Amino acid sequence: MHSIKYYSTNLKATPVSFGEALLNGQAPDKGLYMPEHIPTLSAQELESMAGLTYPEIAFTVLDAFLKHEIPGNVLKKLVNGAYDFDVPLQLVSERKYVMRLDQGPTASFKDFAARMMGRLMSYFLAKRDHELLILTATSGDTGSAIANAFYGLENIKVLVLFPEKEVSPRQRKQMTTLGKNVRTVAVDGKFDECQAMVKRAFADPALQHLNLSSANSINIGRLLPQAVYYFYAWSQLRNSVDDKPVFVIPSGNFGDMMGGMIAWSMGLPVNRMVIAVNENDEFKTFLNTGVYQKIEPSLNCLSSAMNVGHPSNLARLVALYGGVMDETGAIHQLPEMSLMRNDLYAISVSDALTKQTIFDAWHKHQLLLEPHGAVGWAGLQQYLVSCKSDNKDLYIVLETAHPAKFPEQIQGILHFDPDLPASLQGLEEKKEQYGFLSNDYESFREFLMNTYD
């Protein structure tokens, strides 16, 4: 068995090793890297997951991809370092669970991917004696997760661009109070525009010498670690090995959901993936009609990290179903729509329903949700009604951030302030430092040249 190669979803670039895909971020033809072949876990490996710890499951899942690239003892150390926090599975009512992915250092599910990717990059960079400048655009949670995951790492600098008006003060402080190898810049624009500038910089020949790389959800090194928590939830909650859960995933750029799809492709028993989005419902329309139209500019909804009018990982999902979508969202070959409709169900949740759900979940179940998880929980309620699903099945909704990251919304709906997790305490006293840029590529490029040359 040889090591797995990674091809570009645009099909023009040469397939590369995991290390190269990780350090390149985006493929040279602007496509996204996907494994040419997805390894499967044996029935016995699945069976023996019951009772394993999170880092042990992370090792099993990642080793299936990386065994020819990273020695097992090294990978074990990396996963143990990355995953030193809890992953609570909260029972809400009969076999309906919320998986809280909010116990990491930035209280966001993005910690799971970013912490592993940082360690993987650091490993491959040290081997090559190479340096990188990580450019990342964030709508809030990515930036702080990336900044924290890479903070203090050798051979890596990080620059985070964030839309000035779409990021909460607490989210901002998690990135702007670090310093060292982490720099942050507020942009007078929207998330999609920040991301467009970052993407343009990657393709800019004049910036080649800066060794730019991506840490956004387009990096394959972020995607693979996101397959792990699906296995973990299943291993903890299944009654038998044939127990097939429905996962409900609050989604924006579809990195989280693609992690689930990879887990499914590796042999994880899954009934269906429910993709819950806010009012940015371009995917739902696509799934129903086969016609894809981006939403430009994206709509500003309460679940701000999901305000995405063109999910960057959609090209990967399309590829998984045999289609081809380029980086502009143009479809060159339609995926197997009927298969996709069998496997996936998309639900769009309004802001009004999001608020109502936060209220109801708390008052009915003592379940404290923030807006993103509330989109997921609302998605489950709708799914149960629309698909006449069996109430006895196993349902797992992903909560992607800690409610304390959204104190204004929670206060407005529930009239109390959620307790801060330890990781978010003490931010108020720390000193912030960040720059400003207008939404203009030329000034961004000049800034890069002046700062990093």
Q: Indicate whether 124 belongs to the interface with ligand PLP (CB under 6 A).
A: no
Q: Binding mask 348-387 vs ligand PLP (x if CB under 6 A, - otherwise)? A: ------------------------x---------------
- Half-sphere exposure of 90 toward its Cβ, with a 13 Å CA cutoff? 17
Neighbours of 91 (CB within 10 A): 12
Could you tell me the two tokens for 57? 């499951």
Q: Which of 174, 213, 217, 381 binds ligand PLP (CB under 6 A)?
A: 217
**Applying CB under 6 A, which part among 182-190, 250-258, 289-297, 378-386 lies near ligand PLP?**
250-258
108 touches ligand PLP by CB under 6 A:
yes
| Cα separation values, 182 from 149, 177, 178, 240, Å | 10, 9, 7, 46
Burial class (CB in 10 A: 0-12, 13-18, 19+), 175: buried
Number of residues that bind ligand PLP (CB under 6 A): 18
User: Interface with ligand PLP by CB under 6 A: which range of 207-215, 249-257, 412-420, 424-432?
Assistant: 249-257
Q: Does 256 bind ligand PLP (CB under 6 A)?
A: yes
One of 197, 305, 340, 448 touching ligand PLP (CB under 6 A): 305
Taking residues 315 to 354 in sequence order and writing x for each that binds ligand PLP by CB under 6 A, - otherwise, the string is ----------------------------------------
445 CB neighbour count, 10 Å cutoff: 16
* Closest C-alpha to 224, from 372, 72, 3, 21: 21
The nearer residue to ligand PLP, 235 or 312, going by C-beta atoms, is 312
Tokens of 73: 């003892």
Q: Indicate whether 400 belongs to the interface with ligand PLP (CB under 6 A).
A: yes
Give CA separation, 317 vs 9, 199, 323, in Å. 10, 20, 9
CB of 236 to ligand PLP, least distance (A): 22
Among 253, 307, 354, 381, binds ligand PLP (CB under 6 A): 253
Helix (H) or strand (E) holding 362: helix 351-365
d(CA 241, CA 262): 18
Write out the two tokens for 391: 């109430």
Of residues 135 and 257, the one with the C-beta less far from ligand PLP: 257
Contact 258, 226 (CB under 8 A): yes
Q: Is 250 in the site for ligand PLP (CB under 6 A)?
A: yes
Helix/strand/coil percentages in the chain, nearest 5: 45, 15, 40
160, 136 contact by CB (below 8 A): yes
Choosing from 110, 173, 272, 316, the residue that interacts with ligand PLP (CB under 6 A) is 110
Q: Does 172 bind ligand PLP (CB under 6 A)?
A: no
Query: Quick one: 96 or 316, whose CB is closer to ligand PLP?
Result: 316
Applying CB under 6 A, does 255 fall inside the site for ligand PLP? yes
Could you say which of 124, 254, 283, 362 contacts ligand PLP (CB under 6 A)? 254
Residues forming contacts to ligand PLP in the complex (CB under 6 A) are: 108, 110, 141-142, 217, 250-257, 305-306, 372, 400-401
